[in-house]
């Protein structure tokens, strides 16, 4: 795939109404649970980015019937819990880390072997955090050093229920274990010291699984799933992705005179750490028309250009905004005062080492900052950063979009070396932002 360099120039102001693509986390899970349910499921608003389309293809390879209608609605006829079929070929998950890790859990308790691979970015990412608990349940694994892809998952015919305490906050690891527990007799329990996004729990209950959440004496959460339920097909309406909404929201805050509305954004409390932080920084964001769609809270976000101030972001907020730290770092560069983002170890094992990538790019654009261990400290003076840089994004969609947003408000344009990864989560990003008034264009050959 050839690189797609883009350059972002300063915008006069942003205005208009948009709806960003559907929530990626919910889209992955909707496809998986629909493939396990008895009967028909329908999905409205599915994110049709490359990551989710890889999951759709994987569910077909595992025996589910998955089709897209001309109206954009997806229909699935599932195989039932325990009814997945051995795939005839390698499951190529592209850049989809969520899809890969959750699917490993799903197939770990099926008696067949599946082989997973992905693009260069996904093949470099650690999978041992998933394979370790799945191995306790009886699955086997053969892969590269560090448990990296390509990786064969040797499913077990006699899975063992476990009680597993997460060593770090991770909705992906939690979900992988619970998905393995679906086809495991008995009760599988995951204990998390810090609450992570709970889309798996909400959706499993919606499909008919017996799942309980208990708050322990030390404040940890114990999520227990009774294995081998009969899931029944459901109609799912996917809310707009709060992680994707972060980019037009922050762009509107930074570009003076902007006023935009981002429609039907998911406002699940375990996903809204960024918006809480932006409000603390002085952002003019109003939640309007709050409602519940498909079991998830949503609202329209009314956003106006704002003067931001630096804040201290506590480490316990990280699970609710782990994907949004790159765009928060951009906002911090425009704020007045110091913003301290603490406890960002998880950023080092995302699509790229996001902590290092953001620090390098921001410094090159004239921003004063320090990295102390797993903390990122950005010093803003309330003025506009210089910009005028070309940033390597290392196939990381969130790094790419963050620096394009920076270019919309910095003194000089900001260029990225390759925008091709953006389609993994936000197809149509450039067109949507330009429709609001941004000035993003291809770089002349």
Active site (catalytic) residues = 323
* Alpha-carbon gap, residue 330 to 380, rounded angstroms: 10
Strands 187-192 and 259-266 come out as unpaired
* Alpha-carbon gap, residue 128 to 337, rounded angstroms: 39
* Alpha-carbon gap, residue 333 to 380, rounded angstroms: 5
Strands across the sheet containing 296-304: 15-18, 259-266, 296-304, 284-293
User: How crowded is residue 79: how many other Cβ atoms within 10 Å of its Cβ?
Assistant: 18
HEC-encoded secondary structure of 372-409: ECCEEEEEEECCCCCEEEEECCCCCHHHHHHHHHHHCC
Asked whether residue 398 is marked as a ligand-binding residue, the answer is: yes
Asked whether residue 4 is marked as a ligand-binding residue, the answer is: no
Asked whether residue 418 is marked as a ligand-binding residue, the answer is: no
Asked whether residue 241 is marked as a ligand-binding residue, the answer is: no
Distance between start and end Cα atoms, the chain: 16
- Among residues 95, 151, 182, 171, which one has the least CA distance to residue 398? 95
* Alpha-carbon gap, residue 282 to 410, rounded angstroms: 19
DSSP three-state, residue 270:
helix
Report the DSSP beta bridge partners of residue 164. Answer: 190
Asked whether residue 19 is marked as a ligand-binding residue, the answer is: no
* Alpha-carbon gap, residue 115 to 92, rounded angstroms: 8
Question: Cβ(35)–Cβ(67) under 8 Å?
Answer: no
Reported as half-sphere exposure (CB side, CA atoms, 13 A), residue 298 has a value of 21
Report the DSSP beta bridge partners of residue 323. Answer: none
Asked whether residue 439 is marked as a ligand-binding residue, the answer is: no
Report the DSSP beta bridge partners of residue 304. Answer: 259, 284
Asked whether residue 125 is marked as a ligand-binding residue, the answer is: yes
Q: What residues contact residue 225 under an 8 Å CB cut-off, 6+ apart?
A: 178, 181, 182, 187, 188, 189, 204, 209, 210, 211
Strands across the sheet containing 439-442: 387-391, 412-416, 6-9, 439-442
Asked whether residue 323 is marked as a ligand-binding residue, the answer is: yes
The secondary structure of residue 75, as a DSSP letter, is: E
Place of tokens 């499913």: 155
Asked whether residue 27 is marked as a ligand-binding residue, the answer is: no
Asked whether residue 350 is marked as a ligand-binding residue, the answer is: yes
Question: Cβ(420)–Cβ(22) under 8 Å?
Answer: no
Question: Cβ(253)–Cβ(274) under 8 Å?
Answer: no
Asked whether residue 45 is marked as a ligand-binding residue, the answer is: no
Q: What residues contact residue 195 under an 8 Å CB cut-off, 6+ apart?
A: 169, 221, 270, 319, 320
- By CB atoms closer than 10 A (0-12, 13-18, 19+), residue 202 is middle
Binding residues for phosphoenolpyruvate: 24, 97, 125, 172, 354, 398
Question: What residues are designated binding site for 3-phosphoshikimate?
Answer: 24-25, 29, 170, 172, 323, 350
Residues contributing to the annotated binding site: 24-25, 29, 97, 125, 170, 172, 323, 350, 354, 398
């Amino acid at each position: 795939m050839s690189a797609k360099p883009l350059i972002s120039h300063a915008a006069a102001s942003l205005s208009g109404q948009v709806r960003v693509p559907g929530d990626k986390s919910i889209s992955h899970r909707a496809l998986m649970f629909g493939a396990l349910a008895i009967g028909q499921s329908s999905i409205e608003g599915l994110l049709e980015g490359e990551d989710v389309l890889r999951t759709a293809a994987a569910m077909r390879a595992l025996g589910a019937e998955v089709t897209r209608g001309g109206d954009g609605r997806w229909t699935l006829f599932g195989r039932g819990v325990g009814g997945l079929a051995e795939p005839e070929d390698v499951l190529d998950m592209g850049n989809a880390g969520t899809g890969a890790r959750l699917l490993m859990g799903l197939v770990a308790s099926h008696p067949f072997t599946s082989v997973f691979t992905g693009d260069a970015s996904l093949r470099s990412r650690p999978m041992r955090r998933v394979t370790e608990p799945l191995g306790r349940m009886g699955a086997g694994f053969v892969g590269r050093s560090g448990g990296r892809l390509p990786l064969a998952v040797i499913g077990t015919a006699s899975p063992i229920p476990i009680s597993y305490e997460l060593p770090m906050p991770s909705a992906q690891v939690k979900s992988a274990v619970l998905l393995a527990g679906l086809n495991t007799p008995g009760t599988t329990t995951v204990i998390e010291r810090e609450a992570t996004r709970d889309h798996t729990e909400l959706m499993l209950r919606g499909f008919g699984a017996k799942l309980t959440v208990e708050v322990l004496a030390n404040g940890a959460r114990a999520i227990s799933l009774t294995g081998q339920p009969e899931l029944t097909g459901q109609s799912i309406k996917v809310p707009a992705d709060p992680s994707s909404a972060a980019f037009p929201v922050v762009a509107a805050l930074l570009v003076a005179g902007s006023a935009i509305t981002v429609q039907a954004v998911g406002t699940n409390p375990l996903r809204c750490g960024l918006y809480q932080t932006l409000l603390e920084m002085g952002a003019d964001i109003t939640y309007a028309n709050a409602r519940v769609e498909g079991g998830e809270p949503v609202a329209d976000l009314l956003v106006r250009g704002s003067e931001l101030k630096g804040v201290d972001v506590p480490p316990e907020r990280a699970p609710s905004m782990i994907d949004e730290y790159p765009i928060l770092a951009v906002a911090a560069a425009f704020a007045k005062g110091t913003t301290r983002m603490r406890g960002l170890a998880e950023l080092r094992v995302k699509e790229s080492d996001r902590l290092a990538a953001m620090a390098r790019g921001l410094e090159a654009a004239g921003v004063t900052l320090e990295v102390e261990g797993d903390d990122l400290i950005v010093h803003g003076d309330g003025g506009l950063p210089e910009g005028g840089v070309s940033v390597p994004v290392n196939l990381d969609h969130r790094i790419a979009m963050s620096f394009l947003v920076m270019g919309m408000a910095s003194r000089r344009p900001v260029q990225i070396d390759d925008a091709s990864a953006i389609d993994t989560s936000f197809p149509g990003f450039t067109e949507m932002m330009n429709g609001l008034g941004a000035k993003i264009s291809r770089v002349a050959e």
